[in-house]
Amino acid sequence: MTELKLVGLCGSLRQESWNRKLLYAAKEAFGPAQFREGDLRLPLFDEDLEAKGIPAEVTALKSLVAEADAVVIACPEYNKAPPGVLKNALDWLSRGGAPWRDKPVAIVSAAGGRAGGERTQFALRLMMVAFRPNLLQGPEVMVASPANAFGADGALSDERAAKLLEELMQGLRKAAGG
């Protein structure tokens, strides 16, 4: 049996972000897989730039998503919405082809507010409707006060969040055919 390909996208560029830690906890909860994190450091979407040719880093990200069996997106909440870097990547990926079509996708978030990224997840789900992925509806994994939810080693230590993450990622694995 071929090992599943799991792609992770982190809406925070900071290497030690809570969402990157949550992304890697999701990878572990998914189980054995070929895992790659997509790089969202892309040029700003611009139709003039697009007319000159799709940038190589955009093509690479689009291929990564298209070839994945499943995608997990870890997204912080900046000013009540997903950060611009993730929206920019979605804008680029929407141009030509359909890498998201029927792709199993799970969304998780860690945010400093009380709701743990509830608004960012709502907005991100809305943004993705046009792509027609197989977007898992739950359980919702929203880690509030992430400074208290991760141990000194960076591992997710909040038992409730870990249990929900395990359930979500096993659902993603099943949706991916694993």
Q: Distance between CA 48 and CA 92 in Å, rounded? A: 13
Residue 57 burial (C-beta neighbours within 10 Å; 0-12, 13-18, 19+): middle
The CATH number that domain 5-173 falls under is: 3.40.50.360
Backbone angles phi, psi at 35, to 5 degrees: -110, 135
Give me the residues of the chain with pLDDT under 50, please.
Answer: none
pLDDT score at 97: 86
Beta carbons of 104 and 133 less than 8 angstroms apart: yes
Q: Distance between CA 21 and CA 10 in Å, rounded? A: 10
Angle among Cα 172, 177, 178 to the nearest 5 degrees reads 75
pLDDT score at 1: 57
Backbone angles phi, psi at 74, to 5 degrees: -105, 120
